[in-house]
Amino acid sequence: GHCQSGSDMPQIKFDVNRRQYEIDVDDPTMPLLWVIRDFVGLTGTKYGCGIGQCGACTVHLDGAAVRSCSLPVSAVAGRSVMTIEGLSPDGRHPLQLAWQEGDVPQCGYCQAGQLMTAAAFLQQNPSPSDQEITTAMSGNLCRCGTYPRIHRAIKRALTNKPST
């Protein structure tokens, strides 16, 4: 058949926050971060370092915390992505409430990534020790140094039972 240029662009299908997306990608190595921000239009996930070192861009992929700035969009085909916007429909995830109660954010830039890392961690370890919390969060950098507040908020979230 006659081939038109651009018609063979690969399509990647995946879920973001429980909604399915089909995205035409001319570059399957494009980082997931830019797909989430530019194609899906969710801007809560932030660009920090671009090399997967600071954690500002953390999202969940099939429930595990991943760095979206260094993950190619091709890696998420057929999988489920959750961003900070999908953590709770009304912003009342126990961690989000604890973050508010503890007045955690200073500039706020890194905090979506902090929350997403903490949420995935607590799914795997619902009653962590102080040291386990520190270790789990050590890859997420905060220029403002809000680490003690983050730590306290995670501990607060452990004791805040979701209202039934």
Q: What is the pLDDT along the chain (164 residues), one digit of tens a residue?
A: 544 555 577 899 999 999 999 999 889 999 999 999 999 999 999 999 999 999 999 999 999 999 999 999 999 999 999 999 999 989 999 999 999 999 999 999 999 999 999 999 999 999 999 999 999 999 999 999 999 999 999 999 998 755 54
pLDDT at position 6, please? 53
Considering the entire predicted model, what is its pTM? Answer: 0.91
Three-class HEC string of the chain: CCCCCCCCCCEEEEEECCEEEEEECCCCCCEHHHHHHHHHCCCCCCCCCCCCCCCCCEEEECCEEEECCCCEHHHHCCCEEECHHHCCCCCCCHHHHHHHHCCCCCCCCCHHHHHHHHHHHHHHCCCCCHHHHHHHHCCCCCCCCCHHHHHHHHHHHHHCCCCC
pLDDT at position 161, please? 58
